[in-house]
Amino acid sequence: MSGTNFAIVGCGHIAKKHAEAIKNAPGAKLVAVCDTVPSNMTFYIEEYGAKGYESYDELLLDHNIDVVNICTPSGTHAPLTIKAANAKKHVIVEKPIALTVEDASSMIEACEENSVKLSVLHPNRFRPAMIKLKKAMDKGKFGKLSHANATVRWNRNQEYYDQAPWRGTKSLDGGVLMNQAIHNLDLLVWVMGDVEEVYSMAATRLRHIEAEDVSTGLVKFKNGSLGVIEAATTIYPKNYEESLSVFGEKASVKIGGRTANFIEHWEMENVSEQETEKLVNEIKAEPFGKPGHQWIIEDMMEAIKEDRSPIVTGEEGKRALELVVALYHSAETGKPVKINEGR
């Protein structure tokens, strides 16, 4: 597909990934950027020839824009998405889709009412190892599922949180679950299915922030299998591990490494050691593949052309959010929480 014009709203750190993905996606073009701080837009104006807007309302009047990429603090995603939808712009929104399930539902409803597409940035689904795992799950290679383990052991020091006043706040950012671990939790529900009930504990141990810097949780999935969640930004002195492990009656798999890109364990019934070794080496040779942001950009372009839903829809983004909200609710009350009660 050719001729899809994109605008980036919020020119902070993550915006550069969006700009690079748009640049590398055939037929895509970055035509506009928006930020309340003019100097933040300079790079994109000079490097990509994008038009700069200090006013979001003015940007939305630009009829040359097809898709708005929202890269602002998480707490602002809902009003910006709803405005874009009302202006008949398709939307790609950074994770998490929003900070409340109510906001996420409003975003989805606004896009549906205006017949525009909504896609949420969960790029880790497109890692080669994760694609292999998902295909194995969909083919029933695991048999009856036993349990899964989602782990994020990372470091975000105090300097990270001090970069901007919104970082680590409950109203605009959230803690390790909402910010860092939500990608891993998206993978968990993508692979294991819908969650029925959670029980969680959380704490703010080492960072001077409003939200949690460490969280643990237990999960019961609707299919009867169980899950364990561990997430922290308190790991000394740097990122240690992100992993997803899945166990069933016919298979055991762990995708790990610092950012869950490598097959650390892969055993399946009727799969020989030679086949397994070949798969492990294939992933090791190309663990990252095409960047996930580029996958999302190209998928949005195809979704518009084919008039279909994007791969990672607003509803998909809401599933991961519902899990995080339920975990928060459980940690606050000290009680197990049914997933719909977490809303």
Domain 4-123+292-309 has CATH 3.90.1170.40: no
- Residues 96, 279: Cα–Cα separation, whole Å: 32
**Considering only CA atoms, which of 120, 68, 60 is closest in space to residue 91?**
68
Summarize the confidence of residues 254-262 as an average pLDDT: 97
Q: Where are the domains of the chain?
A: 4-123+292-309, 124-290+322-338
The tens digit of pLDDT for each residue in 96-127 reads 999 999 999 999 999 999 999 999 999 999 99
Summarize the confidence of residues 219-239 as an average pLDDT: 98
Band (340; pLDDT cuts 50, 70, 90):
confident
Pick the CATH number of 124-290+322-338 from 3.30.360.10, 3.40.1160.10, 3.40.50.12160, 3.40.350.10: 3.30.360.10
What pLDDT score was predicted for residue 1? Answer: 43
Asked if residue 343 has pLDDT above 60, the reply is: no
**Considering only CA atoms, which of 121, 151, 125 is closest in space to residue 138?**
125
Do 75 and 164 touch, CB atoms closer than 8 A? no
Do 63 and 43 touch, CB atoms closer than 8 A? no
The tens digit of pLDDT for each residue in 49-86 reads 999 999 999 999 999 999 999 999 999 999 999 999 99
Q: Give pTM, 2 decimals.
A: 0.95
The tens digit of pLDDT for each residue in 152-206 reads 999 999 999 999 999 999 999 999 999 999 999 999 999 999 999 999 999 999 9
Average predicted confidence (pLDDT) for the chain: 97
Asked if residue 44 has pLDDT above 70, the reply is: yes
